[in-house]
Chain A
Amino acid sequence: MMIEADRLEELLADLWEAQHKLAARVRRVPALDEHLDALARLESIATARPRVIVLGEANAGKTSVANLLLDAAVLPESVVANTRRPLVLHYADAVGVTAMAGHEAIALPIDRIEIAPRLDRIEVGLPNPRLGAFDLMDTPGLSSLTQINALELRSTDMLIWCTVATQAWKESERRLWTSIPARHRRDALLVATHRDALRDNDLRKVRARLAAETQDLFRGIVLVGASGSMGRATDMQPGNGDGELGAAIEKGLRAITKRRHDGVYRVACEIMREAVLLLEHGPRRPLLRLARVTAPSMIPLRAT
């Protein structure tokens, strides 16, 4: 899955050029350093990797969906609540596990993940080709509103809400989901799992009800047959919604990336315009609150 690689190249080239131009000025204006920093931060925002975050209530099939996305039964699935802390999977040439306690990273031997005390998050590097385009985060089952704040969502996140097809979209789910700020929900997907428990006619009915009851809350609805059977990755045949899910995610990520690139471009223009004003008219009250350009939460960033 390639995300508008050409546009990113172009954007980066523009950013480099802008930085280069500012840095190359003969007359050194101290106030311009701030602008240079901001441009550098923009660069890291532009290249930040998107995250796909799988959310849902306990035993909604989140881990199954994560495995479906990885095209392999990487994570252990269970019929009882199993995932205890957020697990971030990213691409690496060799398997490596890092436990995060606060901002402190601890390298862990792979067989000792679960005994590590008081961890906020576990990061796992995997040589899985599916992780080329995004990082994947599997989360423990949500049950209270406070857990949502603890997720520290970013603008580059694509959210997937998992629900069990046979009992889909309950009030508690609606309440949890709508408590997530709307800006994070713009490109989200509703994934109904275990669809194999439904017959064809029922599938249609469930889909119709979900569409009616979740109007405006999701960009799309996908029913998948994440088999729920532990270690039986072979059950994920085409037609289980795998392809549909992949396509929907690709579409969502593209929208997120496009919005981010547009944002970066817009802010970069503002910075350059201000830098030019600064050079021509001397230091004045800054037009832009540059301090707010911090990676990677840049969607709320607006010129004031």
Chain B
Amino acid sequence: MRGPGGERQRILDGPAERPVVPTSLQLEPRVGRSLARLRHELIDASGVLRGILEPDGKGLLTDAVGLLERQACRVAVIGQIKAGKSLFINALAQRPGLLPTDVNPWTTAVTHLHFGERSEHDDAAVFRFFTASEWEQLASGGGKLRELTERLVPGFEPDQLRVYVSALKTRAAARLGPDFLRLLGQEHRFAALSPDILAQYVCQGDVGALSAAQQPIGRYSEVTRAADLYLPGGPFGYPFVVIDTPGTNDPFLVRDEITRRCLESADLYVVVLTARQALAASDVALLRILRGLNKERIVVFVNRIDELPDIRRDTDLVIASVRQRLRADLPGPEMPLIAGSAWWGYCALADQGAGFEHCLDSRTVSYLQQMHFLRRDDLIGPAAGDDHARANLRSALSAASGLDQVYDALDELLETSHHGRELRQMTSWLIEMARASEAGSREELESLAQRERQGPAASITQSELSRRRAELQRLQEVSAVIDSSATMFRDRQMEIVASELKALRRKLLRTVHECALIERDALVNDLMTRRSVRTWTYDTDPIRRRLSYEFLDGFRNTETKLMALQQEIMPQLRRLLALLAPTSGSTTEDNFMQRPVPPPVMTPLGATTALDLGESWWAFLFKARPTPMQRGRQLERIFKLEFTRAVDELLDGCQQSLTDHVVVTTEWSFGVCDVIARSIAQRRTQLIRHYETLRDAPADPPTIAAQQSEAASLEERAGQCAALIRRLEQIAHETVSVVPR
């Protein structure tokens, strides 16, 4: 358990040692410092290497730099509606008042906060409106849901959707005038960001005061699809994109679906729960979907402990109960579980005067004292306006807010995430290239020295030249081998992907078929025994769970096979490299060039299906089918249709991402060898040409000075490479030691 507390306590030991500004207010980055350093070094090293390497290798390095520069860690903050996500983000970003917060759910827009990442045109904020077709879909009845119901039962219009959709249209027209449709597809850009601007786009505004078309708050909220805000790094050392989602479990189904759609694209997830109703059934369902994505990338934050009656005791109770339920429902490695209060974090950051006195009710104060965040005499100062005492109070609130633990957890997850692994892998690639380049230079130096020993003109004997030519021939052969092995490697991986996924698809479809029959029989049975079944609804959770377990099983199999193939190929690659540059590959770690398989995207399994629609839908569906058997068959049909579609979508996505993975893996692992081979070949070709010129025009033998300068440049190149290798190895060593394998 990570409750708030622990080390912070020591700050309170002596007044002299207390920082005047709370730790979390200091502007040094809190998350991703070591990866940021690694990334920076890699970009640097790529630049150096690009200067050294032969032209053939430069393309790959340019790609690498581009990849590194575009990298940003995406953190989605998700949770049920009104779990306090926006306030949490404000506190996490250390920017109180950044995102508007309201007591009612407020927006359909997904907000991306880019920290330490510049926008295309250097804008501070970009708001994108729905496109005409998106709006049409939305306004004609909630996109996919409408499509679902239409496809299965033409003519049925879910009341729920109709109510929301007509409200949406009315509001948009009231706020923007009748010609609001021309806004669709546009975007608004701002060079500077202010709360007023933000409020126009992402706030719901006062639903009661719609007539005031001139009221700016929420003016564009109905038509805004996404907001991108560009901010300085703040607590994020590494480029971060924090995604604020509208929230799950929203009766406004459209918003719910928008939230689900942005789950796929994130690297890390912070699931925000409220302490009062921590880990409701729908939270468990959400976590199940996420765990499918990859459990090691989730942080669970139990927010709003400030609302608990007896904060200390109840927090322990809540955490223990959440931990227990997580263990029971989601067995496996544990996720970081942090209790805290974004409100306290906010109060600690809020401007002087406004803010933190509100926090100081008796429950909070006694909690802060119990946890030793605050001493009794700390409470006298703030009332008297004592700056030092206020700072202590801020520090106490900040420590109790749990945000420090969130930073630490994010930092740790970032290290072990895809980003961390990619960066480390790129490090070993760069080291390999530098090694090969160094070895090549040394070899040339060696031959230069030899020539010098033998005297200038005599050195270029016919046998030397033919030896060089043979060497070049061999290099070209090796290149060809690399090419053909790469093709073979890719094809074998593709075969694995295709055959494994085919089997998996068959298995999942069989499960769908089986379950459909079971559900049909259950319904028929129910209808036969209970005389008047007027209402009927269906719980899709069990089938989703079963499918996701089976899918993950199959996915892990595929992953294992792909990794096994990589393992098999690695020694061969290593031998190839050794052929090219004898010193290369001697000290690299075992997982050299091994590329992790990206985690699967499981969202198709979480999408709303027709089976999830309410009572009235089923009543409508069953109205025309009086006999139990007919109803049973109808259920079977819909069940198969919906889940076959989900399985197809799931596997198509999976196939796509694995194919991409295979292509990139092949390109990179063999690409590195290829670059090395080509660059050595190129040097050799140059060398041979040089020898040929010397042979053909012996009248002008190279001067001592020219030879010396050539030797010096080779020496310098080898030295640069060696230095680069040392630096990269040092960094690789430092970052690896942080990460538990």
Indicate if the CB atoms of A143 and B281 lie closer than 8 Å.
Answer: yes
Known: A145-B539, A197-B307. A170 touches B207 (CB 8 A): no
Indicate if the CB atoms of A81 and B281 lie closer than 8 Å.
Answer: no
Count, chain B residues at interface, CB 8 A: 43
Cβ of B660 under 8 Å from chain A:
no
Indicate if the CB atoms of B318 and A170 lie closer than 8 Å.
Answer: no
Say how far B620's CB is from chain A's closest CB, in angstroms.
14
- List A200-230 residues whose CB lies under 8 Å from chain B: 202, 205-206, 208-209, 212-213, 215, 227-230
Q: C-beta contact mask, B239-280 vs A, less than 8 Å → 1, else 0?
A: 000000000011101001000000000000000001111101
Interface-forming stretch among A13-21, A171-179, A241-249, A277-285?
A171-179
Identify the closest chain A residue to B319 (Cβ). Answer: A80
- List A225-280 residues whose CB lies under 8 Å from chain B: 227-230, 232
Residue in contact with A170 in the complex, picked from B81, B103, B539, CB distance below 8 Å: B81
Cβ of A128 under 8 Å from chain B:
no
Interface-forming stretch among A23-31, A83-91, A94-102, A161-169?
A161-169
Known: A58-B280, A167-B83, A172-B282. A79 touches B253 (CB 8 A): no
Known: A57-B277, A167-B274, A170-B282. A144 touches B309 (CB 8 A): no
Residue in contact with B309 in the complex, picked from A58, A175, A178, A230, CB distance below 8 Å: A230
- List B40-82 residues whose CB lies under 8 Å from chain A: 80-82
Indicate if the CB atoms of A170 and B104 lie closer than 8 Å.
Answer: no
Say how far B367's CB is from chain A's closest CB, in angstroms.
14
Say how far B141's CB is from chain A's closest CB, in angstroms.
17
CA distance A197 to B281 in the complex (A): 23
Task: Note all chain A residues with C-beta closer than 8 A to B207.
Answer: 205, 208-209, 212
Indicate if the CB atoms of A164 and B539 lie closer than 8 Å.
Answer: no
Known: A79-B275, A175-B537. A166 touches B103 (CB 8 A): yes
Cβ of A303 under 8 Å from chain B:
no
Indicate if the CB atoms of B250 and A170 lie closer than 8 Å.
Answer: yes
Known: A60-B277, A198-B103. A208 touches B208 (CB 8 A): yes
Task: Note all chain A residues with C-beta closer than 8 A to B614.
Answer: 174-175, 178-179
Indicate if the CB atoms of B80 and A170 lie closer than 8 Å.
Answer: yes
Cβ of B317 under 8 Å from chain A:
yes
Task: Note all chain A residues with C-beta closer than 8 A to B304.
Answer: 166
Indicate if the CB atoms of A171 and B250 lie closer than 8 Å.
Answer: yes
Task: Note all chain A residues with C-beta closer than 8 A to B307.
Answer: 166, 194, 197
Residue in contact with B277 in the complex, picked from A58, A146, A181, A229, CB distance below 8 Å: A58
Indicate if the CB atoms of A205 and B104 lie closer than 8 Å.
Answer: yes
Task: Note all chain A residues with C-beta closer than 8 A to B256.
Answer: 171
Cβ of B534 under 8 Å from chain A:
yes
Indicate if the CB atoms of B539 and A230 lie closer than 8 Å.
Answer: no
Cβ of A78 under 8 Å from chain B:
yes
Identify the closest chain A residue to B82 (Cβ). Answer: A167
Indicate if the CB atoms of B104 and A172 lie closer than 8 Å.
Answer: no
CA distance A232 to B310 in the complex (A): 11
Task: Note all chain A residues with C-beta closer than 8 A to B308.
Answer: 79
Say how far A195's CB is from chain B's closest CB, in angstroms.
11
Q: C-beta contact mask, A153-193 vs B, less than 8 Å → 1, else 0?
A: 00000000000101111111011001101100000000000
Indicate if the CB atoms of A80 and B251 lie closer than 8 Å.
Answer: no
Say how far B248's CB is from chain A's closest CB, in angstroms.
8
- List B573-628 residues whose CB lies under 8 Å from chain A: 612, 614-616
Task: Note all chain A residues with C-beta closer than 8 A to B616.
Answer: 178
Cβ of A59 under 8 Å from chain B:
yes
Identify the closest chain A residue to B309 (Cβ). Answer: A229
Indicate if the CB atoms of A171 and B274 lie closer than 8 Å.
Answer: no
CA distance A21 to B196 in the complex (A): 80
Task: Note all chain B residues with C-beta closer than 8 A to A202.
Answer: 103
Cβ of B119 under 8 Å from chain A:
no
Indicate if the CB atoms of A166 and B274 lie closer than 8 Å.
Answer: yes
Say how far B154's CB is from chain A's closest CB, in angstroms.
23
CA distance A47 to B614 in the complex (A): 36
Say how far B164's CB is from chain A's closest CB, in angstroms.
9
Indicate if the CB atoms of A144 and B277 lie closer than 8 Å.
Answer: no
Task: Note all chain A residues with C-beta closer than 8 A to B253.
Answer: 171
Residue in contact with A174 in the complex, picked from B80, B251, B278, B318, CB distance below 8 Å: B251
Indicate if the CB atoms of B274 and A172 lie closer than 8 Å.
Answer: no
- List B272-297 residues whose CB lies under 8 Å from chain A: 274-278, 280-282
Identify the closest chain B residue to A146 (Cβ). Answer: B539
Say how far A137's CB is from chain B's closest CB, in angstroms.
21
Known: A79-B276, A167-B80, A170-B81. A181 touches B534 (CB 8 A): yes
Say how far A218's CB is from chain B's closest CB, in angstroms.
14
Cβ of B484 under 8 Å from chain A:
no
Indicate if the CB atoms of B277 and A164 lie closer than 8 Å.
Answer: yes
Task: Note all chain B residues with C-beta closer than 8 A to A228.
Answer: 276, 309
CA distance A143 to B612 in the complex (A): 15
CA distance A205 to B309 in the complex (A): 24
Task: Note all chain B residues with C-beta closer than 8 A to A80.
Answer: 278, 317-318, 320-321
Cβ of B461 under 8 Å from chain A:
no
CA distance A170 to B274 in the complex (A): 14
Task: Note all chain A residues with C-beta closer than 8 A to B314.
Answer: 79
Known: A164-B277, A171-B249. A181 touches B535 (CB 8 A): yes
Identify the closest chain B residue to A209 (Cβ). Answer: B104
Say how far A165's CB is from chain B's closest CB, in angstroms.
9
CA distance A145 to B317 in the complex (A): 27
CA distance A209 to B250 in the complex (A): 13
CA distance A61 to B83 in the complex (A): 17
Identify the closest chain A residue to B315 (Cβ). Answer: A79
Say how far A301's CB is from chain B's closest CB, in angstroms.
13
Task: Note all chain A residues with C-beta closer than 8 A to B309.
Answer: 79, 227-230, 232
Among the interface residues B82, B538, B616, which one has the most CB atoms of the partner chain A within 10 A? B82
CA distance A78 to B278 in the complex (A): 12
Indicate if the CB atoms of A59 and B539 lie closer than 8 Å.
Answer: no
Task: Note all chain B residues with C-beta closer than 8 A to A227.
Answer: 309
Known: A79-B309, A171-B253. A143 touches B280 (CB 8 A): yes
Say how far A209's CB is from chain B's closest CB, in angstroms.
5
Task: Note all chain A residues with C-beta closer than 8 A to B206.
Answer: 205
Task: Note all chain B residues with C-beta closer than 8 A to A144.
Answer: 281, 539
CA distance A169 to B317 in the complex (A): 25
Indicate if the CB atoms of A79 and B318 lie closer than 8 Å.
Answer: yes
CA distance A276 to B309 in the complex (A): 65
Known: A80-B321, A145-B539, A171-B253. A206 touches B281 (CB 8 A): no
Q: C-beta contact mask, B155-199 vs A, less than 8 Å → 1, else 0?
A: 000000001000000000000000000000000000000000000
Say how far A77's CB is from chain B's closest CB, in angstroms.
8
Task: Note all chain B residues with C-beta closer than 8 A to A166.
Answer: 82, 103, 274, 276, 304, 307
Say how far B499's CB is from chain A's closest CB, in angstroms.
39
Say how far A85's CB is from chain B's closest CB, in angstroms.
18
CA distance A174 to B615 in the complex (A): 11
Among the interface residues A164, A169, A170, A215, which one has the most CB atoms of the partner chain B within 10 A? A170
Say how far B605's CB is from chain A's closest CB, in angstroms.
18
Say how far B567's CB is from chain A's closest CB, in angstroms.
45
Task: Note all chain A residues with C-beta closer than 8 A to B318.
Answer: 79-80
Identify the closest chain A residue to B281 (Cβ). Answer: A143
Identify the closest chain B residue to A197 (Cβ). Answer: B307
Indicate if the CB atoms of A206 and B537 lie closer than 8 Å.
Answer: no
Say how far A31's CB is from chain B's closest CB, in angstroms.
26
Task: Note all chain A residues with C-beta closer than 8 A to B539.
Answer: 144-146
CA distance A230 to B309 in the complex (A): 8
Identify the closest chain B residue to A181 (Cβ). Answer: B535
7 of the cross-chain contacts (CB-CB < 8 Å) are A58-B281, A79-B308, A166-B307, A170-B251, A172-B281, A178-B614, A205-B206
- 9 further contact pairs, Cβ within 8 A, besides A170-B81, A170-B250, A228-B309: A80-B317, A80-B320, A170-B251, A175-B537, A175-B612, A205-B206, A209-B104, A229-B309, A232-B309
Interface residues of A (CB under 8 A from B): 57-60, 78-81, 143-146, 164, 166-172, 174-175, 178-179, 181-182, 194, 197-198, 202, 205-206, 208-209, 212-213, 215, 227-230, 232
- Give the 10 A-B CB pairs with smallest separation, nearest first: A143-B281, A229-B309, A202-B103, A80-B321, A167-B82, A170-B249, A79-B314, A59-B277, A172-B282, A179-B537
